[in-house]
Structures are given as structure tokens and as C-alpha cells.
Structure 1
């Protein structure tokens, strides 16, 4: 029986919540997709705590979970590693979320039930529980995308997205050779420019209860400027890439 859904979850220093978070996704998704058609890929991005050890223990007792360990390269590289591993499994759809326990598995059904309406579906955090500085940066990013690409996306970097497998393969092949800091933003822009309606479905966002945000204030501003430059430079290639994606 072919795989119906592969889920990509990057993880970094989440020992306090990683096992219950992954278990909740396995249990919740198996009510929607049969367990034999479901695989969850967790990418341990060089965690310095017990995250990797706990994931290996979990995978040892749950065949739906696969763990990939890599040197710390940041959230973006972990996401791309997960996407590439998921594509190798050849599922019908690939879903990506995060491991910090800020999203609900219950919201997944809303995206899944509308999967035939678009090849690239995004959630949208109507109420976002982050600090004011991060919210300001997010707003600046939103209008930067409109300025650079003429594309308005409600939540371009949200880690709550459902993508049809063949379409994701084209998008991944279109990314810059050097993985961008925030590849999910690039994928969102490419999808919209290629004519996909991202639907922007409201999902819950919960205040973080464990761990710490890895990028704060000045560092966040620095990486956002890096992302802006990457996106600005990418504009030169995007039209030719979009034509290939549409084929």
C-alpha cells in the first residue's frame, strides 16, 4: 500500500516536550490517515540536550516515526532535509509543522479536507502568541514580499503547510543552491507565483510552554535582513523558475 502522508518536523533542544508532541501527532493524524499510510520524519538539528536520545527511544517503539540526526545547520536546513527525505518515500502529500508544541493536530483535518483545492495549502495564525518584536518583524516581512514580488501572503513562513508531493519536488528543485535561511518563505512565494491558491486557513497558535526561542531580538533582526537580501536577489530568477514549475 502506498504512503499517503509524510510529515516533516524539525527539532532543536526540545527535550521537555518532544515525545508528547510527536506522539500527539501520530495519534491525531492516525484518526485521519491510516497508520500504515503515515510516516513522521523528525529532523534532529544537532540538539545539545536529550532531544535526539528521546527521539530514538520513541522511534524504537513506534514504526510510524523516523529520526534523522544532522549537525546543527538551523531550522531552514532541517526543514529542507526533512522535505528531501519525505520525497524519497514518495507519499501523496507532505505536511510540515514544528516541534515546539505551539500548533494543534486538530487543525490538520481542515487542511486535509481541502487538499483537492490546491497543491500548496497554508495555515494562517490569526492570533499569534509571540513577543512584540517578532510580530513586528513578521509584519515587515509580509509587506516586503508584496514590495518585491507583488504577492500578499498572510503567513508565508508558517510551519503548518500541506503540499502535494510532485509540486513540492518542483519547488525544492527551484530553491537556491545555498539553502536560504527561511526556505518556507521561498516555497510560499514560488507556489503563489505559480498560480496556487494557498487558501490561508486559520489555525490555532499556542503560547510556548517549554524551551526557549532560539533566535531573539538583535539576532532575529540580523537574520531577517539576511532573508530580505536573499529574497530580493531571488527575484531575478523567479519568472523563469515559475515557468518550469507550471509545466
Structure 2
């Protein structure tokens, strides 16, 4: 799951980024409302964590602009503005949740997971496709009832493809989802992970669309 963190206090941003990344989130950080708007227009994110007191563009103005663009990405406001009016304004402008500073990291994690589940229509962090089941909380995969051990990034890759089953996902989109704005990934890393998944499940699970990307078909392969 890829998160856009919009927070101008470096210490808070570093702490949130480190904590969420320990729980398998990919976190891209910006410290300015205008930069956040550009990032959201050019990238695909599963969640935005938004501070309100930002340089460049206030958090509420960013929120208004995002919703005016009809973007439906879940947005969690994380702010020291704790009055009822601030919460009402944020929620009325289209925020999905509001957490005040100081906050508990475990609560932040739980709220992030709940918003992502809700956005994809799940009540549990569980994905199932034929004989394959992914438990997104426990980071476990099972195929034909037996546990399948995957490297963390292979598990993330399979999650992305299952969530978009029936759609071709380009290699560039997958790389961005797996690594965010980092640029240190090997060029053949997707092929390595896809090969691992096929070897441990079935070769028919993921189809390669040559020159484009990969797809998990809606129909379960025989």
C-alpha cells in the first residue's frame, strides 16, 4: 500500500514514515501543499495522510482541490487543530478520517488500514482468488491450503495484481507502487518476483503482457 504523507514537520514525518514502512507501507513524503497536489496528480496512492498547517497551500485548500478534481483517494487528516470546527470543516470538505496530534502510532496504523480496506470494499484484510489466499495483516499467502513463503516485495506485487485482477498493470506503475520515489531498484526486479510467485503457486496465475506489464485474469486458470 502506497501512502502520500503531507507533513511539514520533519521529525514527525520521519517517525510516521519509519513506523508505517515497518508495517509494509510504501511512504512518499512532501512538506508542502502544492507539492502534494502535484504528487497526487502524477502518481497513484492508496491513502493520503494530511497535515493542515502547511506552507505553499493549506491542508484544507489541498483537500478542496483534490475533491474538486474528483479524486477519490482516502484522506486521513492528522493535525494539531483539534477544535470541533476544524474536524467538521475537514470532514465536510471530503476527508475520510481525522486524528489529532499527539497520537498513538498503533491507532494511526489501524485507521490507515481501515481506510484502505473501506476504499477497496473489504471488511477484512483478506484477498482470495481461487486456491490462493492472501492475509494482508499477517503478510501470509496460502495456495491449495498450504502456506507459501514469499519475499516481502513479491507479496506486495501479488497483492497489487490481485487487487487489480482483470486489468493490465504496467511495469512503471508496479515499480512506483513497490518502491515509491526510490530509484535504487534493479531493472529486472519485477521478473524475479513474478517468477518466484509462479514457481510457488502456478505458472498460470500471472500473465505477462509483453512490452506492457502483467495481469491476473478474473477467471481462475484451470
TM-score bracket for this pair, using the shorter chain length: 0.3 to 0.5
Structure whose residues are more often strand by fraction: 2
TM-score normalised by length of structure 1: 0.31
Higher relative contact order by CA 8 Å / sep ≥ 6: 1 or 2? 1
